[in-house]
Structures are given as structure tokens and as C-alpha cells.
Chains A and B, each alone.
Chain A
């Protein structure tokens, strides 16, 4: 009986002192707080709903997997479009990354650390981090934007509806080939990017720095573990999966004409870049912990 307990009922040693709490009352919210909370609430609900829709989309895609006759013949075409055609930009990025890494290592190590460790730093960094992540970020722009714009345009010009009326499942015809091609081809592209980065790192170290070929190779082999390459390629496959899935999801969800296509494209690039960084951290936490 909470209401029956009064402060004055407490046993006291001295003269009874009546301790009555001040009359609390609920003050009104500051007027600006309501709209702010509403915006935060809407954003939170929108985000949760977005993940829910993505989950449905993924489930529909998985359900379309048995329709091999529809998607099977499209995969090679998408592997070429999304994979082979992306090779030049990936090689371009990794070539310059290799150069910068070698020079940066030399700059940091000078006078304190043996120079053969330039090879170690270039190797580990290119293979485990910068090769996959920089390539992933570049392909989020090239591949993710391409998919979102293409499927978004197909959606607003009723081509996706036309597919459905012609008895095709858009998930089988449009989504599976792209997601599969991205997941398979990203590690291939990244493998080439790693090789290019190592080559330009070696070239700049041996020509621009006081590092011999033998020293660079010694450093490269020093802490080498075959797992390093597996780690980089696993990350790349996950980036490929996420970028193509987001591109397909937002592309097919496009509404409202050219503006909608632009918005879907932009959001695909932004969300893909964010997811690459999240996955990068996820794989580091999951796979790189010391035993």
C-alpha cells in the first residue's frame, strides 16, 4: 500500500518532523523535442522496415534458385559485365596503392626499422586489407551503381512488369545471376588487384628505395601465411555479395521515374560502402583474433 506510507509515519527519535515531499508535476516537453523525437522514430522504423524488406527480398531470391533454367544462362554474361569489365579500374587502384605503400613504409621505417620490412608491410596490407577494401569501394560505385540504375530503369519503364507477365521470375532472371556473378568474380578481381599491388610495391621499392630484390622478397615471406590470401578473398566474396544484393534490392524497389532511379543509385553506393566497412570489421573480429 504505497499510497498509505507517509514520510511522517517513519519512527523518529526526536520530535516528529513532518517530511512531505514537494508537489512534483510533469512539466511539458520542450516544444522542439516532439518533432525531433518523431524524426528519430520515423528513421528507426524506416531502418527496421528496410531490413525486413531486404530479408523478404533475400528469401524470394533463395526461393528462385531452383529455377536454374532461367538464371543459368545469364550468369556467364553477368560475370563478364560485372567482373571482367571491372578489372581495369581494380588494377589501376591497386597499382598506385602499391607504390604509395612502399614509399610510406620506407618513410616510416627509415633509421629505426630494417628496410626489408617494407616487403612485409606492402604484402600484408595489400593482401589483407587495402586490396579487398579499396577494390570493394571502387566496385560499389561501378558495379552497385550500374545494377541499381539498370534495374531501376527497367522498373520505372515497366520492363520488370513485362518480365513477370511473360512468366519470368525477376528474382531468377535479374537478381540471382548478378549476385552470383558478384560473389564469384569479386575474389577473382581482388586476386588480380593483389598481384598488381605487390608488383608495383616491389617495383617502387627496388627502384626508388634502398631496398634490394632479395630484401623485399625476404620481408614479403617473413610473416607470410597462406591464410592471409584466404582472408582477403573471403572478404572480397562477401563484398561482392552485399554490393550486388543491395544494387538489385534498391534497383527493383525504385519508384517515381528518373528521380527515383537517381536516388536508388546514390543509396546503393552509400549503403554498399557502409556495408563494406562494417563487413571489414566483422571479418577482422571474427577471423583475426589470436588463439
Chain B
């Protein structure tokens, strides 16, 4: 279980998370939606300790992330797969080495086992046979699939997806959605998916939470969110411009180390 409790995070004067509370149950896929720059990526980076909260806490299986020492954090991270918005593949390595990278950290795997795991992970994302290629030779969709393969190769308990379909055409987005569902079925993972893409949210999510002005505006099943009466949530999921909501969405500065989500779609 992943628990966000009254999480606060600011970058300079900009308050991004302001009492963010959310519980993600074991085995479910929680989709977090929200306007660009409202701190969705910031929230999941707390789960793997890439950011530290100003106040509040994030607990994974009862372990408070910000209280872990380096060794404990490494142990936690080895149970979590993180799929980055732009895949974050290592440019200087082959696709094989990218996928094998997390496995080589483990002492209990022989090189032959690593090879089997890499081929299995690449097959799961329909990229078998691309092992020798370099990331620069891949399209955007393929890079995301390699990023997904790298995350699932370590057989994690939790998967965190940071805008997995952003910037992709509708067909490739549907492929990524299908892969996320397949990953969940194959590994039984608990997932958090950050997205703007409502079609993707409805497709992969068990529950959907909307982040608005630094906290959760509404959380519910897909059906509950579809039929919401909340004007802010309704405006967002129907894609209707809502001046007050758009203006309220905070845009983080790239200076603060956070990608400006709106700039990428």
C-alpha cells in the first residue's frame, strides 16, 4: 500500500502540494489526473525518495520514505519500477544493457539469468530482437516501451508511470495502455499512473484521483469520476475550458528542477 499523508511541497514561493492525501490499495491501478504543472509528477517522485516533503509523509508498506537511510531506500527502490515521461534511457548503452541495468545491481542473478530476464521483458513489450540497438535509433513509442521493459525486468511490486502516453499518437498510446494492463496481469503490481489522457485513464485505471490546487479534489472509481457532479472535475474530464481552473493550475518553473508538464503536452 502506498499512502500519501498531508503532503506539502513548495519550490521557492510556489506551493505545489498543499495537503495531498491519497491511499493506493494493494493490487489496484490508481490514475492521478490534473492540469499541467499541478504537481502530479512531484507527488510520485516522493514515493521513490527523489524528492523530500516539506511536511507530511509518504509511506510504502508502512515504511516512511523520508525516514529511510540509504540502504533501506535502495531496498525500497528495488521493489518499485518507475517509467519516466521521456523514458530516460541511458544514451550510451544498448537496449539490452538499459534493460539489464537494474538487474546487474542484484547479487543473486547470474549473467545467463539476466539475459533471460531481459529477453522476457522485451518480449512482454513486443520489442524482442532489438537488444543490440541503441536508444537513439528508436521512435518515441518504442523508447517508452523500452523504459517500461527496464522497469518490469526487476519484477517490482509497485509501478509508477509518469505520463506514459504523453506525446504519442492514439494508436501507440493504446499499445502502451495495453502494455500497462498486461504488466499488471503478469506481475500483479500495484500502480500509480500520472496522465492527462482521459481515454488512457478510463482504460487502465481502477480508481481515478484528481489533483487540484495541491490536494485531491475527488477520488473514485472510473464510473464515479465519469458521472461526477463536481464542476472542476467535470470540466477537466470533458476537456471544457474552465478559466478559473486553468488559472489556478500552477506552472512550475524548470529552474526548480521540475519539467514543465504543459510544455510537453
Chain A residues at the B interface, C-beta cutoff of 8 Å: 63, 70, 157-159, 161-162, 164-169, 255-257
Contacts and interface: CB of A to CB of B under 8 A. Distances in A.
Interface string B20-50: 0000000000000000000000000100111
A53 to B, nearest CB: 14
A70 B80 CA distance: 20
A164 B88 contact: no
A157 B45 CA distance: 15
Contacts of A161: 45, 50, 82, 84, 88
Contacts of B75: 167
Given A161-B50, A255-B256, A255-B257, A167 B86 contact: no
Contacts of B154: 166
Contact of B50 (A159, A164, A167, A168): A164
- Nearest 6 A/B pairs, CB to CB: A165-B82, A162-B88, A166-B102, A158-B88, A167-B77, A167-B78
Interface in B73-120: 74-75, 77-78, 80-82, 84-86, 88-91, 101-102, 105
B interface secondary structure, majority: loop
Contacts of B227: none
B125 to A, nearest CB: 17
Contact of B90 (A63, A162, A257): A162
A159 B147 CA distance: 11
17 contacts: A157-B88, A158-B86, A161-B45, A162-B82, A162-B88, A162-B90, A164-B50, A165-B48, A165-B80, A166-B77, A166-B154, A167-B78, A167-B102, A255-B254, A255-B256, A255-B257, A257-B254
Contacts of A166: 77, 101-102, 105, 150, 154
Contacts of A159: 88-91
B240 interface: no
B243 interface: no
Interface residues of B, number: 29
Given A158-B259, A159-B88, A166-B77, 13 more contacts: A157-B86, A162-B82, A162-B89, A164-B50, A166-B101, A166-B154, A167-B74, A167-B75, A167-B102, A169-B74, A255-B256, A255-B257, A256-B255
Nearest to A161: B50
B80 to A, nearest CB: 7
Contacts of A158: 84-86, 88, 259
A155 B45 CA distance: 15
Nearest to A64: B70
Nearest to B98: A162
Nearest to A153: B91
A179 B50 CA distance: 24
A161 B77 CA distance: 11
Nearest to B147: A162
Nearest to B92: A150
Given A255-B254, A255-B255, A168 B105 contact: yes
Contacts of B48: 164-165
Residue with the highest number of chain B CB atoms closer than 10 Å, among A157, A166, A256: A166
Contacts of B82: 161-162, 165
A167 B79 CA distance: 9
A167 B150 CA distance: 13
Contacts of A167: 74-75, 77-78, 102, 105
Residue with the highest number of chain B CB atoms closer than 10 Å, among A159, A162, A168: A162
B91 to A, nearest CB: 8
Contacts of B101: 166
A269 B101 CA distance: 32
Contacts of B85: 158
Interface in B118-145: none
A8 B81 CA distance: 85
Given A167-B77, A168-B105, A169-B70, A162 B84 contact: yes
Contacts of B81: 165
A165 B150 CA distance: 11
